Amino acid sequence: MGIRRTAIDEASRRTQRQLDDLVRDLRDARLAAGLSQAAVAHAVHLSPQWVALLEKGNGATYVLQLARWGAAVGLD
């Protein structure tokens, strides 16, 4: 049985939209709280570079791959 390409593509699009919304909300909240990326990074035990990468919309590759994997095995 083949894997439905459309289900995988839709999972990718849906997850990307959700990640974009989440990252935007996190960045907006950080700015509203007057916190630097370095302060947030320290609080959550990440490097400031990683926080910057995430806020730019990069670094979410693993989550997208998990969404695609789920779609490939029939999860929504």
Question: In this predicted structure, what is the pLDDT of residue 21?
Answer: 92
Q: Which 3-state string (H, E, C) describes 2-59?
A: CCCHHHHHHHHHHHHHHHHHHHHHHHHHHHHCCCCHHHHHHHCCCCHHHHHHHHCCCC
Range of the domain at 49: 5-72
Look at the chain and report how many structural domains it folds into: 1
Q: What's this model's pTM, rounded to 2 decimal places? A: 0.76
Four-CA torsion 2, 7, 13, 16, nearest 10 degrees: -80
Domain with residue 33: its CATH number is 1.10.260
Question: How do residues 5-64 score in pLDDT, each as one tens digit?
Answer: 788 898 889 988 998 998 999 999 999 999 999 999 999 998 999 999 989 988 777 777
